[in-house]
A = this chain, B = another copy of it.
Amino acid sequence: MKDVVTIKEIARQLNVSPSTVSRALQNHPRISSHTREAVHALANQLKYLPSTTARNLQRGRTGVIGMVLPEIRENFFSEVINGVEELAFEHQVTVALYQSHDRFDREKQILTVLASNRVDGVLLSVAKETQQIHHIQELLDRQIPLVLFDRIPPHIAAHQVECNMEKGAYEATKWLARRGHRRIALLNGPHALIASEERYRGYITALVEEGLPVENALIKRSDLTTQETALKMNQLLSSATRPDAVLTFNDYVALDAMQVCRSYGLVVNQDISFVSFANLPLNMYLEHPPLASVEQHPYQIGFMAAEILLNVINGVIAPTDLQKVILEPELIVRQQDAIS
Asked if A240 lies at the interface with its beta carbon under 8 angstroms from chain B, I say no
**Contact residues in B for A53 (Cβ distance below 8 Å):** 53, 56-57, 62, 117-118
Most buried by B among A53, A72, A95: A53
Asked if A42 lies at the interface with its beta carbon under 8 angstroms from chain B, I say no
- The verdict on A113 contacting B98 (CB below 8 Å), with A51-B118, A73-B75 known, is no
Chain A residues 40 to 85 lying within 8 A of chain B, measured CB to CB, are 47, 49-54, 56-57, 62-64, 72-73, 75, 78-79, 81-82, 85
Q: Please tell me if the beta carbons of A96 and B98 are within 8 angstroms of each other in the complex.
A: no
Query: What total of chain A residues lie within 8 Å of the partner, measured CB to CB?
Result: 49
- In whole angstroms, what is the CA distance A118 to B63 when docked? 13
A108 nearest CB across to chain B (Å): 13
Question: Which of A13-21, A227-235, A282-290 lies at the interface?
Answer: A282-290
Asked if A97 lies at the interface with its beta carbon under 8 angstroms from chain B, I say yes
Asked if A316 lies at the interface with its beta carbon under 8 angstroms from chain B, I say no
Q: Which residue of B lies closest to A2 (CB)?
A: B143
Q: Which residue of B lies closest to A284 (CB)?
A: B255
A32 nearest CB across to chain B (Å): 26
Asked if A112 lies at the interface with its beta carbon under 8 angstroms from chain B, I say yes
**Contact residues in B for A258 (Cβ distance below 8 Å):** 285
Q: Please tell me if the beta carbons of A73 and B79 are within 8 angstroms of each other in the complex.
A: yes
Q: Which residue of B lies closest to A109 (CB)?
A: B89
- In whole angstroms, what is the CA distance A85 to B101 when docked? 11
A117 nearest CB across to chain B (Å): 5
Q: Which residue of B lies closest to A113 (CB)?
A: B92
Asked if A116 lies at the interface with its beta carbon under 8 angstroms from chain B, I say yes
- In whole angstroms, what is the CA distance A63 to B53 when docked? 11
Q: Please tell me if the beta carbons of A94 and B92 are within 8 angstroms of each other in the complex.
A: no
Q: Please tell me if the beta carbons of B285 and A288 are within 8 angstroms of each other in the complex.
A: no
Q: Please tell me if the beta carbons of A81 and B85 are within 8 angstroms of each other in the complex.
A: no
- In whole angstroms, what is the CA distance A96 to B54 when docked? 18
Asked if A142 lies at the interface with its beta carbon under 8 angstroms from chain B, I say yes
**Contact residues in B for A118 (Cβ distance below 8 Å):** 4, 51-53
Q: Please tell me if the beta carbons of B286 and A115 are within 8 angstroms of each other in the complex.
A: no
Q: Please tell me if the beta carbons of B117 and A94 are within 8 angstroms of each other in the complex.
A: yes
- In whole angstroms, what is the CA distance A4 to B49 when docked? 29
Q: Please tell me if the beta carbons of B94 and A82 are within 8 angstroms of each other in the complex.
A: no
Q: Please tell me if the beta carbons of A286 and B285 are within 8 angstroms of each other in the complex.
A: yes
**Contact residues in B for A51 (Cβ distance below 8 Å):** 57, 116, 118
Beyond the given A51-B116, A53-B118, please list 16 additional residue pairs across the A-B interface where CB-CB is below 8 A.
Answer: A1-B143, A49-B116, A52-B118, A53-B53, A53-B57, A57-B57, A64-B96, A72-B81, A72-B85, A73-B79, A78-B78, A85-B99, A94-B113, A95-B97, A259-B285, A282-B285
Q: Which residues of A does B touch, CB under 8 Å?
A: 1-2, 4, 47, 49-54, 56-57, 62-64, 72-73, 75, 78-79, 81-82, 85, 89, 92, 94-99, 110, 112-113, 115-118, 138, 142-143, 255, 258-259, 282, 285-288
Closest 10 CB pairs of A and B: A73-B78, A49-B116, A255-B285, A282-B282, A52-B117, A94-B96, A97-B97, A53-B57, A72-B78, A287-B287
